[in-house]
Amino acid sequence: MTTALIITTYNWKEALEISLLSVLKQNELPDEIIVADDGSRQDTRETIEKISSESRVPLQHVWQKDMGFRAAAIRNKAIARVKSEYIVLVDGDMILHRDFIKDHRSIATENCFRQGSRVLLTKGKTSQALRRGKLGFSPLELGLQNRVNSIHSEFLSKLFSRRQTDLGGIRTCNFAFWRSDCLAVNGFNEDFVGWGREDSEFAARLLQNGIARGNVKFKAIAYHLFHHERPRKNLLRNDEILEKTITRKLTYCNNGINKYMDE
């Protein structure tokens, strides 16, 4: 099974750099890395180029003009570039456990997407990680807000990882799926502009198309750097799009990835 890692980013090169370095330190590397850049400045491009020169696997930079929060569009553009069978999505403010890719590969099953969990770092721990280039964390150290999520255990993962049928807790900061399943529902819905719900709506269409949801606990661990929340001024409109998808049991969006597939 070939695996692509897609990392979304916007104008936080320090976080992206440490995230990419955690990728390069993986015990099992992905087959390809794509940075999905929602309009960052030139300094982000320079950071990616520097890391790319050190990478043993292909690292692409997919960029779009800054026209506000358009995560759905940049993810589609990145997915359209993917050559691998399986895709793992993370955000550019996530530091990955050394077995992150290995774990996601080990739990991948047909007709199923995976929702991973995250460990929230405090503001102080985030500053420390960025300053020192810290890539690993112990469940016992200070600065981990939900430290139970940082426990890496095959035994506990088998006990507590389970299927879920609703959309509670959907977050594409640690999320994996088969490329073919994504294309079948036409990727992310680009009607979503501004923060919120584009990930839940994508998951809703997967579920309604017969793809199961599997939650991952105690494996595929990612540490989320502290940052202030994004503005949510479009959330009401985005909620309406999500509700329409759910009530009409839609499995396909019109404004999706298909427009990029012949490029």
HSE-CB at 54 with a 13 A cutoff on CA atoms is: 11
pLDDT in tens, 127-164: 999 999 999 999 999 999 999 999 999 999 999 999 99
Q: What is the pLDDT of residue 263?
A: 62
Q: Tell me the CA distances in angstroms from 59 to 24, 43, 157, one per residue in order.
A: 11, 17, 30
Single-letter amino acid code for the residue at 98 = R
Q: What is the pLDDT of residue 131?
A: 95
- Chain-centroid distance of CA 151 in Å reads 20
From the list 203, 209, 127, 113, the residue with the least C-alpha distance to 163 is 113
- The answer to pTM > 0.85 is yes
Handedness of CA 184, 108, 86, 17 (dihedral sign): positive
> What fold characterizes domain 3-260?
Spore Coat Polysaccharide Biosynthesis Protein SpsA; Chain A (3.90.550)
pLDDT in tens, 195-251: 889 999 999 999 999 999 999 999 999 999 998 877 777 889 999 999 999 999 999
pLDDT in tens, 50-99: 999 999 999 999 999 999 999 999 999 999 999 999 999 999 999 999 99
Look up tokens 């991948």; give the residue: 108
Mean pLDDT (the chain) is 96
Q: Tell me the CA distances in angstroms from 201 to 29, 119, 217, 256, one per residue in order.
A: 29, 24, 23, 12
Provide the token pair at 135. Answer: 């890539």
31 has a pLDDT exceeding 70? yes
Percentage with pLDDT > 90 across the chain: 94
Laid out side by side, the sheet with 59-63 consists of: 59-63, 32-37, 3-9, 86-91, 174-178, 112-115, 212-215, 163-164
Angle at 202 between CA 171 and CA 179, to 5 degrees: 95
Residues 6+ apart with CB under 8 A from 178: 85, 86, 87, 108, 110, 113
Look up tokens 């919120």; give the residue: 196
Q: Where are the domains of the chain?
A: 3-260
3 has a pLDDT exceeding 90? yes
